[in-house]
Amino acid sequence: MIKQCKKCQADYNITEKDQEFYKKVSPTFNGQVFEIPEPILCPDCRQQRRQSFRNEFNLYHRKCDLCKNDFISNYSSDKSYKVYCPACYFGDGWDPLEYGRDFNFSRPFFQQFKELYDDVPKLGLIALGDNENSDYTHDAYRLKNCYLTFDGEQAKDCYYGETFVGLKDCCDFLTLQMCELCYECVNCKDCYNLKYSQFCFNCSDSAFLVDCIGCKNCFGCANLHRKDYYIFNEPHTKEKYEEKMKFLELHNYDNVQKAKEIFQKFNIEQFKKEFRGHMNENVSGDNVHNSKGSDFCFDCDSVRDCKFCTNVQLSSNDCYDIDIWGDRMSLCYNGECVGAGAERIIGSFYCGFDSNNLYHSIFCWKGSHDIFGSVGLTKKSYCIFNKQYSKEEYEKLAGQIAEHMIKTNEFGQFFPIQLSSFGYNETVAQLFYPINKFEAKERKYQWQDKDVKEYKSQTYKIPSEIEDVTDEIIGQTLVCEECGKNYKVVEQELLYYKRMQTPVPHKCFNCRHIDRYKLRNPRKLWDRKCDKCSAEIKTTYSPERPEKVYCEKCYLKEIN
């Protein structure tokens, strides 16, 4: 069934399998099933809504509104909400049920929810568990000596990265698993001493690789499996390889920039696999592994019978429209940051940790169940708008609210962007669906104006050679050559660059992070033909792109 998006007017398809899923996740209140309506927005507009609630990378200094102490937060100090530091938020000094209120059936649900959401204190920084010497991090745990790392767990001595597990001594990364001494790498797993590489597995002591598996001592290579001493896909002796590597002088900034340009041209000329992923069955999307029966999924692992999911990891079943997290997640729909034993969580933001039957709620977790339209609840049940009810009262009222929301076209939808507590340009949505300030104001989205005090003149000229960079650079004001924003180099970061023999970056963290995102294909699928056998394929390479794209069968023949 073809439908038209109520926001952007794009056409999108609702299949019979989709309809079966919406029925499967539909809740039952007081013995009556309230069916989740088919979405009125296309997949992109649904994702844009969800992403507009997540400020992943912007950190600020501010005071906790409870203990009054200074702390690092992802809420800027000019925001009018009450914001608590993690110790206070999870402490006994306040009770979220004090903000409880009745539901008014003469008003839309989301309008009332915004009033509740604005009143309940915000969690100023997501710090789950104890982190050691890792204050400037967010949405991560079990960290030691980490700086500006986000969305992950288990890392030591790592800097400037997002989405990770099990890292040591890594810097400037995007989506790494079980890696050590990796620099400027994207979507790599089980790698060691790897630089400037993407989509590699079990590679080591190499640089500028893409789509390689089990390679060691290689430079500028693509689509190689289990090779040693290769340069631009050509074999070399050990002695010749080491001689050429010494000649490249990759400790020099200018040489690295030249190498990036040469490798980019080489990479475009190499054939590409229609779909990046391993150990999959009946899966579409990109960068998906160990999965089955899932469509339009991106950067996921171990998902089964899922659709429109991104960055979902670790055993997730029967879920649609979920961004971020996973881990024993099932029967969840239209949520942002959902997982860790989450079951039947609908239209919610950052809910999970063995919670179930949560609807249109935010930050409700740790064993909570049967919650509707609530904020900040831990180990609670049978609550609506942060007000406690008996099981019987909850079932009756929840059914009435669901019926009301179906009439107002709100049931099953994620919160509108206008409800977000962040400026649109602070959120992940700006990465994937960028707009300018004028467009944001026209749509009545919040916008975070930049602090003009951030922009100062550079006080230190960065030498091209890493060996010429002195301790004087620490704490000096540097200016990003891309956006003009100021940034600094911290002590442990400089030690890392010297150890890895990599030049100091000339761009700020945000611009470097955007550059890494650009190394991935867009989260869209196009119909095209295999450039080898002309078989019909679905791929993230649009038909007008210059790369040769092969179906999986032809790709495997070429590399073996």
Is residue 242 assigned to a domain? yes
Mean pLDDT of the chain: 96
Average pLDDT rounded to a whole number, residues 381-400: 98
pLDDT greater than 70 at residue 500: yes
Q: Kindly tell me the burial class for residue 50, based on how many C-beta atoms sit within 10 Å of its own C-beta (0-12, 13-18, 19 or more).
A: buried
Average pLDDT rounded to a whole number, residues 233-238: 97
Residue 167 belongs to a domain with what CATH number? 2.160.10
Is residue 263 assigned to a domain? yes
The pLDDT confidence band at residue 313, using thresholds 50, 70 and 90, is confident
pLDDT of residue 127: 83
pLDDT of residue 378: 97
pLDDT of residue 452: 57
pLDDT greater than 80 at residue 373: yes
Average pLDDT rounded to a whole number, residues 433-455: 89
Please give the structure tokens belonging to residue 522.
């867009």
The pLDDT confidence band at residue 425, using thresholds 50, 70 and 90, is very high
pLDDT greater than 70 at residue 439: yes
Average pLDDT rounded to a whole number, residues 489-498: 94
Percent of the chain with pLDDT over 90: 95
pLDDT greater than 90 at residue 314: no
CA distance 185 to 137: 19
Average pLDDT rounded to a whole number, residues 244-272: 96
Is residue 351 assigned to a domain? no
Is residue 504 assigned to a domain? no
Is residue 142 assigned to a domain? no
Q: Do residues 40 and 409 make contact, with C-beta atoms less than 8 angstroms apart?
A: yes
Is residue 137 assigned to a domain? no
CA distance 165 to 173: 12
Average pLDDT rounded to a whole number, residues 66-85: 96
Structural domain of 195? 162-273
pLDDT greater than 60 at residue 14: yes
pLDDT of residue 559: 87
559 vs 465, residue with greater confidence: 465
User: pLDDT tens-digit profile of 93-127?
Assistant: 999 999 999 999 999 999 999 999 999 999 999 98
Percent of the chain with pLDDT over 70: 99
With a CB cutoff of 8 Å and minimum separation 6, the contacts of 265 are none
Average pLDDT rounded to a whole number, residues 163-170: 96
Average pLDDT rounded to a whole number, residues 303-328: 95
Is residue 384 assigned to a domain? no
pLDDT greater than 80 at residue 449: yes
Average pLDDT rounded to a whole number, residues 298-314: 95
Is residue 448 assigned to a domain? no
Q: How many domains does the chain have?
A: 1
pTM (predicted TM-score): 0.95
Sign of the CA dihedral running 518, 520, 525, 526: positive
pLDDT of residue 267: 96
CA distance 91 to 157: 29
Q: Can you spell out the DSSP letters for 128-197?
A: -S--BS--S-EEEEEEES-EEEEEEEEEES-EEEEEEEEEES-EEEEEEEEEEEEEEEEEEES-EEEEEE
